Structure 1
Amino acid sequence: MKMKFVLLIICLFFVRVLPAQKPVTIECRIGEGIGKIMQLSGVNNGQQKILASASYAQNGYYGFRFIPEYEGFYVLGDGKNHEYPLYLKAGDAVSLFMDKDTIYLTGKNNTAENKVLYDWVNLSKRVCEKSIFFTRSRSTYEDFFPEFEVLLSKIKPFCKNIETKNSRFNELMKHFISYELDRFALNFIYTPRSKHPSKEQRIAYYNSIVDNNKFQDEVILEMPDGIKLLKLYMMFYCLENKKNASDLQESLAVIPNKKLQGTLVVEQAKGFGRSYFEYMEFMEKAKKYVDADQLKILEDKASELYEAKKGERAIDFTCPDANGKMHSLSDYKGKVVVVDVWATWCGPCRAELPHLKKLEKAMEGKDVVFIGVSVDEKKNYEKWKKFLVEEQLPGVQLFADGWSKITKDYKITGIPRFMVFAKDGSIVESHAPRPSDPSLQDMIESELRK
């Protein structure tokens, strides 16, 4: 029987460093009602991330073969209304059949972990469809709540029988089930229905969803839909307790783990499409919830939003001089500021230096400041300091340590880059002429007259 396979190398690093690892093999036969393209997704920070896609052959078969980057949960599906969770580690083989109504394991090589997952999928199938894939199953609380309570009655014995030889999986699977129950319950009441229950009509389970003992650790980020659950959980908490869901302090109060708080802040920032300065107000409140890596993600988003247009308020930057003293663009408000972004290794930058010195000499005694910002890397710091002395560079000379924040904020991809700022701190020109062009001096003098 011919099988169509996609060879997926998830990460060359793992292939190189872990050559002894065995690949995972997934074989699947597709029945009626499944999309033409199948996707294999991994879990990245509590969200599904597509690793590979495959179209299946005429005989309805497709497959994936890859070296897993991690041991844990993965998801197989058509990206629409059909998906199936898998637990994979190096050397595993999975065989299954999937159509619009049925999913079941086939063959003899399926692992103990995936047999447990298969039993869970079948146990929770009707509740999952009514809650998560609700467009396939028109349901209201009148039929959902009784079925959900039947499922709840089977959870304790089901979890007691999770006894594979993989202790890590056994624990993760119990977390997975607990989280899925919350997700089923919450997603149901927040998705379109022909009838919605009042608080009095809800089953008792909803009274126990918010619990101070939940989300003390980061295991939720190993779940395929962990972030979806965290968002539902916060929304439920805020609505039930009349909290402002858009207020970080109020909404994050129910999530005790700091890493999870930061992850949720980063998620909120992704959808922030308003102006840079509105976003910066959000960032100021968000900073206390994020770690250094998460802060960098927030800053990158800020840089994406900023448009360095004429008349726009300038983004501030702060860098040290050769003596370690910090200087900010905002320190020179009240003067016209000319910024030169350059590097010692840049030939065109060095070619502009005689013209720049001549221009600075012509502007002596006037309300104008020249700031040189070097994007030399840290390893060339001493070379930069020596260059300043040798070339006797005037003005304020700062060291940005590589292609750092100023280059991201002002979308600088090539140097030299000259920028002119007005006395009030707004942008005159973020792509100003070079000093070798007389129009730069004209631009400065025009600003000085204002």
Structure 2
Amino acid sequence: MMKQFLFSCLALFLFQFGMAQSMVTGTLPQSEGRTYHIYLKPIEGLAEFGETMDVEADAQQRFAFELPIQEAGFYQLSIISMFADGNKANYNAVIYMKPKAKLFVPFLPKEAYGLASDAKQVKDGNNRLLLEAQESNLNQVRALFMADFEPQASKQQLQAFYSIADSLTKKSKAQRVVKDYVQLMAFNEYNANMYRMGMALKDPKDPQYAAFYQQPRHPKAYFNNPAILSLYTGISSMVNYLDLAVGIRPYSRRKDLNLLQKQVAILKQTVTHAEVVDQVVKRMLENYISGYRASDSFEADLQAFQGIANQLQQEELRHQVVADFENLRFTLKGADWVNLEFVQADLSKLKLDDLKGKYVFIDVWASWCVPCIKMIPHLKELEKAYEGKNITFVALSIDEDQEKWAKKRDELGLHGYQLWDASNTFAKLMNITGIPHYLLYDPAGKLIHYQAPAPNSAEIRKELDKLLAN
């Protein structure tokens, strides 16, 4: 009798535990040679904290996730399709899950490699709205890419994002938080595509320029929604809005600090949400760093930069961006190199100080960088031309994967000083935002050229001949 009672209690516990799990399930198109890997990730700030989950579709191309959640939230559903011919395709969608909820989403094939949710078959009203809105937005983005740009006509096409959201939310019985997110996605798509298309407008004095960038809906409410931080182009669209507000073109990277301060002031007048303000200011400061070239005005620029950074409310962000700017000292002419330790091809360690005594030419590259690989033969020729001279040539890989570095190194037949920076620290400290990137140091380890001429240029040989003749 006691055993039966305990068994009944255990069964009841397991039943209740299973009922407490939210479920996300789906079916995927079955086709020969196509397999799927599916990920489910909580969107930071919009869902309970948790790790990304991943599964592979079964033989019937079905998948399932269990979510032990206590609060409702938004999640990113990502599906990677892999094909026998080596192609891959990604599908991403935002879903909304509540405790104990059960969501089933059937997917349909779209064109050769794509996917589309069969949103009308989704029973859950919140997610039917979300998926319908996202599919409609994708279709509208494709239409914009296919259409020729004409300011007035394109402006009307952009308006479709709002029309879609208005129509879908009006007839939906979804929760307010989901409807608000759909409207936010419409605002984001409108702005992201507006700024992309507007790059065709070159003259700010053109009357069509101001008319095209006129916002049909005031952005203040959208900017103050912290969910905007979860959207891929959310912050960049806010920065572009601030560019226009101070009279410069969107995507402008060359800004002085006085202009940046004006943008921060406008941002604070428009946005009251502290986290949103911090993230936008952080992005603008990071953009400034990536476009900055250190000069004799560095110390004065640092002081002005700190003045803006001090307006960040989060202390950790404040310290990080200031530290990143201070690292730009390493890019000043005559600066000592960063004496980091790197891994060599034979897995032994080497520090840059070990190379002192000769000029050092450093090629920062990676196995996935096509321009880098195209330049390798020229680097080999340059190294051969100066063999036996007072100069050392170094190829410094910033690959994340050591095996990929080793494989490509062997394929290219690279010898000599082959170094690997596993943590990418060198490139970060040197503010290297694009590769290949070349640096030249003197025998004492002091910087001669932060952006040295490329190996296939006449300038580098002229420079080396001059230095090595002394």
TM-score (norm 1): 0.48
Q: Which of the pair has more CA radius of gyration?
A: 1
Bigger helix share: 2
TM-score (norm 2): 0.47
Larger relative contact order (Cα-Cα within 8 Å, sequence gap ≥ 6): 1
